[in-house]
């Protein structure tokens, strides 16, 4: 941001805090924190990177403003319902749970468990299946769409990048984000 100070009476007063530009195009910070935690359960980091490292959240955030625009409301409603049920049944926000508890909660979503009561237009499993799918795309797809930072999943698999089979033309569209 350019306008970080105000000039009053000839002296420059720096503000006590400054506005951080919103890091996401669609998700609020709270939604993103929850979704990042869900994605990390789907592809967890170990000695190889996980969904958070690869920037899967940026993939999803970018696509719901484009080809996945039809999924905006299911993300908004689904994350709210997930968080509500999580707080009711586990007494914590999803992202604040230890990972074994997160996994247990997601398994309940997978099976549409009876304790999940905040879901209306769609079932918890439908929402979770969509997130699984998008997480896989963000982790294993091309970096130009926001995820798979520096082709880290390709390197994990051992197929390397860039390809060396007879071509050298990766200038266009390959940069992250």
Partner 1 sequence: MDNNKYDAIVVGAGAGGGVVAKQLAVGGMTVLLLERGGWPVYDEHINDELISQRTWVLGTAFGPDGEKNPRVIVRKDGSHEVIGPTDGWDYNHIAACVGSGTVSYGAMAWRFMPEDFKMRSTYGNVTGSTLEDWPLSYEELEPYYEMAEWEIGVAGDDTQNPFAPPRKKSHPMPPFEYNREANVLKKAAVRMGLHPFPIPMLRNSVPYNDRAACIRNRTCCGFACPVDGKNGTQNTTIPRAIQTGNCDLKTGCKVTEILLDDSDRAKGVRYFDVNDKGTEAYADVVVVAASAIESARLLLNSKSKLFPDGAGNNFDWVGRNLQGHAYTGAFGLFDYEILDYVGPGASLALCDYNHHNEGIIGGGLLANEFNRLPYLYTGIRPPGSRRWGKEHKDFQRFSYLKNSQVVGPIQEMPVFESRIQLDPAVKDHWGMPVPAMSGERHPLDHEHCKFLSARAEEILIEAGAVETWQSIGGRGGPSGGQHQMGTLRMGNDKKTSVVNKYGQVHEIDNLFIADGSVFVTGGGFNPVLTIMAIGYWVGDNIVNIWKGTGLKS
Residues of this chain that interact with partner 1 (CB under 8 A) are 41-44, 46, 48, 50, 63, 66-67, 103, 106, 132-133, 135-137, 140-142, 144-145, 153-154, 156-159, 163, 165-167, 169-170, 172-174
Shortest reach from residue 78's CB to partner 1, in Å: 16
Shortest reach from residue 59's CB to partner 1, in Å: 9
**Closer to partner 1 by Cβ: residue 91 or 175:** 175
Query: CA-CA distance, 166 to 143, in Å (whole number)?
Result: 21
Shortest reach from residue 166's CB to partner 1, in Å: 3
**Closer to partner 1 by Cβ: residue 32 or 146:** 146
**Closer to partner 1 by Cβ: residue 108 or 145:** 145
Shortest reach from residue 31's CB to partner 1, in Å: 20
Please name every residue paired with 12 in a beta bridge, in sequence order, or none if there are none. 7
């Amino acid at each position: 941001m350019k306008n970080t100070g105000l000039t009053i009476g000839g002296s420059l007063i720096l503000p006590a805090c400054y506005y951080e530009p919103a890091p996401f195009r669609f998700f609020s910070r709270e939604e993103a924190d929850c979704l990042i935690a869900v994605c990390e359960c789907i592809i967890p980091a170990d000695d190889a990177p996980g969904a958070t490292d690869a920037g899967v959240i940026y993939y999803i955030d970018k696509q719901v403003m484009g080809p996945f625009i039809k999924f905006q409301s299911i993300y908004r409603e689904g994350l709210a319902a997930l968080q509500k049920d999580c707080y009711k049944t586990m007494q914590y926000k999803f992202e604040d749970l230890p990972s074994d508890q997160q996994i247990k909660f997601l398994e309940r979503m997978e099976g549409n468990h009876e304790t999940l009561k905040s879901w209306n237009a769609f079932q918890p499993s439908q929402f979770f299946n969509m997130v699984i799918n998008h997480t896989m795309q963000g982790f294993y797809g091309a970096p130009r769409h926001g995820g798979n930072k520096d082709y880290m999943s390709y390197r994990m698999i051992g197929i390397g990048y860039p390809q060396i089979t007879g071509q050298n033309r990766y200038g266009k569209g390959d940069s992250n984000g």
